[in-house]
Amino acid sequence: MTVLFSKKCEIGLQAVLFLSTKREGKLFNALQVSEKVKQPKEFVSKVLQVLTVSGIVGSKKGKNGGFFLAKPAEDIRLIEIVAAIDGMEVFEKCVLGFSECGDTHPCPVHNTWGKIRDEVHNMLMNETLKDFKSKTLDKLITL
């Protein structure tokens, strides 16, 4: 069950982390990626297309085509993937959905959630795909 990101975003993060563990420029079709992240091919394909439009993932059409990282893993921050798929609303709006929530009119969880939200945002801003390569490799081996 997801708490912070949509299922689509989770799959996008997993797919891009998988691609980051491979040799630069190596192509993987949607079926290969879907098998690694254990999600339906059609869904993975749609997520990869969104990431292609955003410039995080590249694609090559045709019989020998597939998906690859569009830039080096050290140049892709996790926040870029989240922003491309889910947007930044989770970091900008009230977690409970109140329209008038802020420091002057806080909702019941504003102060606690604000600290957690800021920590998550900072982690996503500061970490690159390269930072997670070895941990991702370990996780993919156990899948």
Confirm whether 1 is domain-assigned. Answer: no
Confirm whether 138 is domain-assigned. Answer: yes
Distance CA 33, CA 28 (A): 7
- Give the range of the structural domain holding residue 35, as residue numbers without chain letter: 7-142
- Structure confidence at residue 62 (pLDDT): 87
pTM score, two decimals? 0.86
- Structure confidence at residue 47 (pLDDT): 97
- Structure confidence at residue 1 (pLDDT): 41
Distance CA 54, CA 81 (A): 9
Q: Count how many domains the chain has.
A: 1
Confirm whether 84 is domain-assigned. Answer: yes
Stretches where the chain sits below pLDDT 50 are: 1, 143
Confirm whether 21 is domain-assigned. Answer: yes
- Structure confidence at residue 143 (pLDDT): 47
- Write the pLDDT tens digit of every residue in 56-70: 999 999 888 999 999
Q: Are 9 and 82 in contact (CB under 8 A)?
A: yes
Confirm whether 23 is domain-assigned. Answer: yes
The CATH number of residue 99's host domain is: 1.10.10.10
Distance CA 71, CA 24 (A): 9
Write the DSSP assignment of 50-97 as a string of letters: HHHHTTSEEEE-STT-EEEESS-GGG-BHHHHHHHHT-SHHHHS-TT-
55: left (phi over 0), alpha (psi -120 to 50) or beta: left
